[in-house]
Structure 1
């Protein structure tokens, strides 16, 4: 055997995987950047082999045409006759593909190793439990019978750009560098459950024709689903988006044609960007900050986690727009409590500093939050009302206790001060006009101004109290 990097127990080196040897038969990607000329040779050989695995239920002619269109390559490259030329290359005074496969296998694994047969194209590509030490490039390659990457590790970048996965595939692997699936097509179910993306991940312009699951997957840096089309169920349940350095999570202009689930999804650092996205009416989101005690009891790793970041360094305008998009979907579902959670986050970001917005423009949102938690709290407006009442009570009681300065007020006591301050908060009931008009007339001008100020302050506080009661008891 040749010297190979040590691999964790249970993982085999990539060159002990016959599908990988076939995929890189003209050479591996040795440099830090992809050698596109070398990759083109590998790609043409791979596609000539892969087309023999025409998915069940499809005619070869139809598959050939659709495969060529999906990959953006010529029909000739995908033609079944190309593989025949490689098998019978001796007629063209070239090395037969089966002979090259056996030779390359021994070069990479030692002369004493037994080279297997070239895998059948009618079988799924099995990259499971494999460690890939070099750049992995599958750009514009077809996986006619699907692929499984379960428990594999990609130590360098992995490019699956504009690939075709014609049959159900499993991608539950660890990607230590950038993973690029941009513009790929998934004709059947795709399972990314528990996949780990330690660097950037790109799924822009992908088309998922069937169900796709990212449940339990982990994203550490920027991830893009921009302009991606989800035609089947999309599951992001228990996925974790733990973006470092405020890297973005974007679903900008994505289209969810079927139900999707973001339940118990952790957006730890940033809010996802849903600008221009079309969300299905049955899209679900977790509308709270913290996991419940029952959820923590089932999984103690959730302790201290939050579903949504309390603070974020991202542009407040983008965060606000995303919350507004989510709120709109939940409102259409008739979920006022959940919708109001995202309304509160929307108002919170509207009050944060952002380019082109002055403090005066942001001040109403800030006050809205201070006084009522954006129309959600009952306690806050009550406490503010109590404070306004107490300020009036203490002032009036002080005046009534100084007969030498204000002799007209000597006949009034603390109960009168309490009643006067209370009536100022609720002018609609007419207490002041009926019972306390004489007291108001006897007050000095500045105390009368204080009474009016109490009335003015009480009106928005009573309104906020009504919003809180309406939200709490679902009054319509």
Structure 2
């Protein structure tokens, strides 16, 4: 079998780890394919050899140096991938050449080394486009700081023990459809550049059985957890969503947190409103009032932009003057503003020549204006109880003032109820 000419472009070694000869030995075997058209067997062999070369080098270095080289097991693999990338169109149907294919591999029972299951750690690996782990089986596995290209696939895979994807980067799409997770799952600090699909329609794979952590993860595209059952604590703390995440048909664990999570600005999307409504109802079922309130506000923001005409203006006013019933200060400022403004209006009726604007040098405000205005702002005095010094005020002005004041007082009460989680 002739040797691929581009092998000579590979470095002899990197950080003391032999690269060129390791890769040459792998592709001397026909079953492993060629460097620019690797086979499924070749992917497994190259991953193992990359790890083995690291162990050999580690045995020759001090413990301190080894501790500083935690990701060096990927050196041989990444040197190959950089020189022989996965090529093809961006269309997943068209597919890519020279892709990493680990589909249907049983990593959970792979013990072909004295060091144990050497292929269970892919830390720092760069897999390229359309890497496939479809129907693979894992025990404990480490995908920390891995770079996946577009169309990574973990469909129908089985994670029997903890899986660590911390700080991994995924391309424009990744699928975990019907993937079975039986232990802890961590995606802390991951970046997802496109569509992420964790949905399931398979009753055997619907559970996230262990602790699930997406803290500080960044989702730059749609993400779906539809149909999943979160059977343990789940955290999305400080996660960043560019599109409203969907949890339709999900069962959330009571220890589920979105603390500090960032959601996109409202765009008037019916899909987003429905997504937030699903989460609102899920937390309402748990009586997790703070989370329920948060997703209610997000839902209302979307619905505000969906409305038209007068209804849209009413929704806008509800947001502006009360933050959808969650602000005490906004309606208090509305109450204060109406009191001051209507004091001026009542002053115009009492003494038209005395009407002035606040800040005017010759402005002389009369105390009875503010007293009368305050009386109208309170719910107890009636329209007939007019101060003797202020006469001839139109009932229309009184009605408008009292209506605005009552609305402000109602919104203050509503905010206090929400603040103290009263039902």
TM over 0.5: yes
Give, in angstroms, the shift of residue 190 of structure 1.
1.6
The answer for the alignment partner of 2:64 in structure 1 is: none
The answer for the alignment partner of 2:337 in structure 1 is: 387
Alignment of 1:13-32 (within 5 A): 16=22, 25-28=31-34, 30=36
Distance 2:310 2:297 in 1: 20
Identify which of 351, 356, 360 aligns with 1:401: 351
The answer for the alignment partner of 1:143 in structure 2 is: 107
Q: Check whether the contact 2:376–2:401 (CA below 8 A) recurs between aligned residues.
A: yes
Give, in angstroms, the shift of residue 237 of structure 1.
3.8
Alignment of 1:63-78 (within 5 A): none
The answer for the alignment partner of 1:262 in structure 2 is: 236
Identify which of 163, 168, 189 aligns with 2:162: 189
- Structure 1 residues 361 and 3, CA, compared in 2 at 3 Å: closer, same or farther? farther
The answer for the alignment partner of 1:465 in structure 2 is: 412
Partner of 1:3: helix, strand, or coil? helix
Partner of 1:137: helix, strand, or coil? coil
Task: Write out the 4+ residue segments of structure 1 that deviate beyond 6 Å after TM superposition.
Answer: 17-24, 437-440
Describe the superposition over 1:247-304 as per-residue Cα deviations: whole angstroms up to 9, x where unpaired: 312222222232222123233x222122232222222221x4xxxxxxxxxxxxxxxx
Q: Check whether the contact 2:338–2:401 (CA below 8 A) recurs between aligned residues.
A: yes
When the two structures are superposed, what TM-score results if normalisation uses the length of structure 1?
0.63
The answer for the alignment partner of 2:8 in structure 1 is: 3
Identify which of 272, 275, 289 aligns with 1:322: 275
Q: Unmatched 5+ residue regions in structure 1?
A: 47-100, 106-125, 289-306, 405-412
Q: Check whether the contact 2:8–2:20 (CA below 8 A) recurs between aligned residues.
A: no
Distance 1:12 1:282 in 2: 48
Task: Determine whether 1:426 maps to 2:378.
Answer: yes
Task: Determine whether 1:169 maps to 2:141.
Answer: yes
Distance 1:380 1:218 in 2: 37
When the two structures are superposed, what TM-score results if normalisation uses the length of structure 2?
0.71
Distance 1:361 1:220 in 2: 37
Give, in angstroms, the shift of residue 360 of structure 1.
4.2
Describe the superposition over 1:371-406 as per-residue Cα deviations: whole angstroms up to 9, x where unpaired: 1011111110011112222221111101211389xx
Q: Check whether the contact 1:213–1:236 (CA below 8 A) recurs between aligned residues.
A: yes
- Structure 1 residues 20 and 423, CA, compared in 2 at 3 Å: closer, same or farther? farther
Partner of 1:469: helix, strand, or coil? helix
Distance 1:22 1:327 in 2: 59
Partner of 2:352: helix, strand, or coil? coil
Describe the superposition over 1:285-324 as per-residue Cα deviations: whole angstroms up to 9, x where unpaired: 21x4xxxxxxxxxxxxxxxxxx3135266x6223233333
The answer for the alignment partner of 1:365 in structure 2 is: 315
The answer for the alignment partner of 1:250 in structure 2 is: 224
Q: Unmatched 5+ residue regions in structure 2?
A: 50-71, 86-97, 111-119, 355-364
What number of residue pairs does the alignment pair up? 350
The answer for the alignment partner of 1:348 in structure 2 is: 301
Task: Determine whether 1:229 maps to 2:202.
Answer: no
Q: Check whether the contact 1:128–1:148 (CA below 8 A) recurs between aligned residues.
A: no
- Structure 1 residues 5 and 324, CA, compared in 2 at 3 Å: closer, same or farther? farther
Name the stretch that deviates more: 380-389 or 219-228.
219-228
Q: Check whether the contact 2:100–2:128 (CA below 8 A) recurs between aligned residues.
A: no
Q: Check whether the contact 2:181–2:210 (CA below 8 A) recurs between aligned residues.
A: no
Partner of 2:109: helix, strand, or coil? coil
Identify which of 325, 328, 331 aligns with 1:375: 325
Describe the superposition over 1:206-238 as per-residue Cα deviations: whole angstroms up to 9, x where unpaired: 111222211222222221112263332242343
Q: Check whether the contact 1:262–1:284 (CA below 8 A) recurs between aligned residues.
A: yes
- Structure 1 residues 310 and 414, CA, compared in 2 at 3 Å: closer, same or farther? farther
